[in-house]
Amino acid sequence: MTGVGSTTDPYVVSASAGAFNASDTSTVDHTLTGSGTLADPYILTSTVKVSPTAVGNLITTLGDGLAVTCESVQDCVGQALDDGLIYDDAANQMRVRLSTDAGNQTIFGTDGGVYTAAGGGGGGLTSVATTDTNCIDFSGNGTVVQPLSAVPIIAPVAGNLLSCAAGGLRALLTVGACGLTGTGAVGSPLAVNTGAWPYPCSVDTFGGVVACDATGRLRSEPRGMASFFSFTEARAYADLAVPAGFDQPGDSFATATANPDTCRSALVVVEREADVDFILPATAGAAYGHSTDETYYTRNTGTTTINDAHVQTTKAFALGAMAAPGAAIPLTFDVTLGRGTGGATYNRIQVFIRALMISL
């Protein structure tokens, strides 16, 4: 080897012919020229081999050397993106692809990250928002420290059979000794404890009703009711002449009561009493009656005047129609006079109206 390694005096390695060889590799192709003399030195040229396989090979040979550009890497990776990612070749960007489906709330947050409202962060949900309902009470926020828990709400009302036992919700029914049979189980359903109909008539036609009241208690039909009403009035007159005909108008009396049973109609039995005071000179006669029914006649067969001759008469009857529930009941009494002779007069009429009301 000669030379000092400078530009004007380079190192020169001298070797005899055939003493210098170059071997190719899979990535470098060597070419050896020259004979190894000073006048014709060996020259070793090396060329990088680029695979002729086009698919996926990003290495290119440029005038100043080998090159793999960012653009080629982006284009290659962008072609391999799948759901959830998108490649923008013009902007040289790879981004998350947000769905355009209705209801999607995921957006890009102010920090550039993917953001979904109430979705938490830091690699997953950090809490869960809950809302109680009428029947479920939630507690906890869904974290490890405060796990989410739900408890059924049992209404604290009297008679509620629902409870939360070790095995879950249950309605424990305790059957009493009266009125019900069965236990409430599938093989022993609850039933009303009834008796046999002991009458010859049809229960479908004549059977009563059992109903449930506002507190949930069974009730029978309204109880039978009987009530009594009484009215009396006495009127004085200035010795009025007794009419000569039969059943002539004397005076009218009126009162009213009401059926106290607001559930059912009532049978009304009415009893009316009348008493008229007559003044009868010798040989005079007079009569009175209940409406068109003359009930009393008297005559003075003596020789002196009889003052305040009177007898009290009574009639009982039922009203022609039943009194409706709670309805007013008008009660009237027309006292008639007649058969007045010999100067007979009257100076007083007293009446009684009594009513017995029965509803069953």
In this prediction, residue 217 carries a pLDDT of: 87
Task: Say whether pLDDT at 297 is over 90.
Answer: yes
What domains, with CATH codes, occur in the chain? 225-359 (2.60.120)
* C-alpha of 78 from chain center: 57
- State which of 54-63, 68-77, 116-125, 181-190 shows the largest mean pLDDT: 181-190
Spatial contact of 303 and 282, defined as CB atoms under 8 Å apart: yes
- State which of 68-72, 172-176, 269-273 shows the largest mean pLDDT: 269-273
Spatial contact of 340 and 250, defined as CB atoms under 8 Å apart: no
In this prediction, residue 177 carries a pLDDT of: 63
Closest CA to 290 of 270, 266, 267: 270
Task: Say whether pLDDT at 245 is over 90.
Answer: yes
In this prediction, residue 259 carries a pLDDT of: 96
Hey, what's the torsion of the CAs at 161, 164, 166, 171, to 10 degrees? 20
What is the pLDDT confidence band of residue 335, given thresholds at 50, 70 and 90? very high
- What radius of gyration, in Å, describes the C-alpha atoms of the chain? 63
What is the pLDDT confidence band of residue 127, given thresholds at 50, 70 and 90? low
Closest CA to 266 of 229, 231, 230, 224: 224
Average pLDDT over residues 203-216: 89
Q: Do you know the residue count of the chain?
A: 360
Reading the block at residue 257, the tokens are: 């009561």
Task: Say whether pLDDT at 90 is over 90.
Answer: no
Percentage of residues in the chain having pLDDT higher than 70 = 89
- 89 vs 273: which has the higher pLDDT: 273
Average pLDDT over residues 276-284: 98
Alpha carbon separation from 13 to 4, 16, 41, 44 (Å, rounded): 12, 10, 8, 12
- State which of 31-35, 100-104, 245-249 shows the largest mean pLDDT: 245-249
Task: Say whether pLDDT at 158 is over 90.
Answer: no
Task: Say whether pLDDT at 78 is over 80.
Answer: no
